[in-house]
Amino acid sequence: MSKHNIKLEDDQKRLPFLYWIPKMHKTPSKQRYIAASHSCSTKPLSKMITYCLKLIQQTHTNYCKTIAKNRGYNRMWIVDNSIKVLEELRKFNDDNLAKNIRTYDFSTLYTSIPHKDLKKEIAWVISESFNNDTRRFIHIDVWNKGARWSKTRGKEENLVWNKDELIGHVKWLIDNIYVVCGDSLFKQDIGIPMGTDCAPFLANLFLYAFEYKWLLKKLEDKDFDTLNKFKHCFRYIDDLLCLNNDQLMESVMTDIYPKELALTSDNADFQSHYLDLDIMIRDDKFHTKLFDKRDAFNFQIVNFPDLSGNIPNKHSYGVFVSQLIRYARCCGDVTDFIDRTKTLIDKLTKQNFLLGQLRRVFERFAETHYELLFKYSVPSSTLFDSCCC
């Protein structure tokens, strides 16, 4: 890695190896292949590229927010979680404007991206984020796991890249993806392996480039009707959600995305799953509750601490709080929140959590996160009792 001024540790002087994990909830069972890149020759470079692409994605997000604020059209569909989706659903519900919902999925995104197109589009995304003023260089902070824009290169030349250097590093990484499987060595000529640090950002920004350019073309053509149909789209890597799109995505998906990527629909208009949300339309409103694919597993899931073991009891109760936050965010109706919490309490008490301590933790949660429970219009003490019935 001397070409990139990166010094490798001894345990990094090896290639990623390929392994697979089963998708046991699928019928028939399927597999997900992962390139174990936790300690390999490309790890340091991939991490540094990740910090840069994260900064670049945020720069594009901020720019698109300004466009949306000034012109009302959304050109950034990328989301990191379901929080932004919930905010948008609440806006629709204020005016009873829920009409339809549909989700889409790129069935083979990572393994189908052509390298030539990937390098071209990522280079465009990177170039668009730099300028000749405050964004001339990117300073990489390995210790704090981040990056920042700068006007000057400064003294840390090894950890500061300009536009052309970053594009060069990305292209080199794409061209040098190797994995070991057993006693065989393979070079990846199509797609990017899951397990590479920067793979999610490469995939996200690759799709963003096509989405942005297509939306820009519609604006140049003054096709405002189409732009309005795509104001409420959200994409988490390969999962896409369209609200009140009237299924227009069905007819334009091949215009937006390259032919190598197959985008499939759930064909549901009034109820669908997206990330951790189960969304349905009822009385012209979007209603949400928690969606967890593990609920459909035909086998028992082993999760959460068991206090009979040798683990700190006090910190283990934080698991209860984290799940309560998750439930309260996703569940619009109090009955769904109660059902989820009751199931959780039953499981935790069987794993030696104390009911009295769970009550005290619930009370502190209700006080700290009152805004999440306010929508239920139920006193916290009554709410916990309902979860214990």
- Residue whose entry in the numeric block shows the structure tokens 């309902």: 386
User: Cα-flanking dihedrals φ and ψ of residue 70, to 5°?
Assistant: -85, -35
Spatial CA neighbour of 299 closest among 11, 78, 23, 18: 23
Rounded CA-CA distance 99/281 in Å is: 7
Check: CB of residue 47 under 8 Å from CB of residue 203.
no
Q: At what angle do helices 199-220 and 115-129 cross, to 10 degrees?
A: 70
> Lowest-confidence range among 117-121, 126-130, 334-338, 373-377?
373-377
Least confident range of 70-74, 132-136, 243-247: 70-74
Outline where DSSP puts E strands in 24-106. 30-36, 101-106
Distance CA 114, CA 130 (A): 25
Which of 178, 179, 172, 170 is CA-nearest to residue 202? 170
Residue-averaged pLDDT of the chain: 89
pLDDT interval class at 217 (50, 70, 90): very high
Q: What local confidence, expressed as pLDDT, does residue 24 receive?
A: 67
Give pLDDT, residue 116. Answer: 94
- With b for 16 or more beta-carbon neighbours within 10 A and e for fewer, the 74-104 pattern comes to bbbbbbeebeebbebbeebbeeeebeebbbb
- How large a percentage of the chain has pLDDT more than 70? 95
Q: Is the peptide bond before 28 cis (omega within 30 degrees of 0)?
A: yes
Residue 17: the pLDDT is 79
| Cα–Cα dist 381/383, whole Å | 5
pLDDT tens by residue, 3-20: 556 676 666 677 887 778
- pTM equals 0.90
Confidence of residue 178 (pLDDT cuts 50, 70, 90): confident
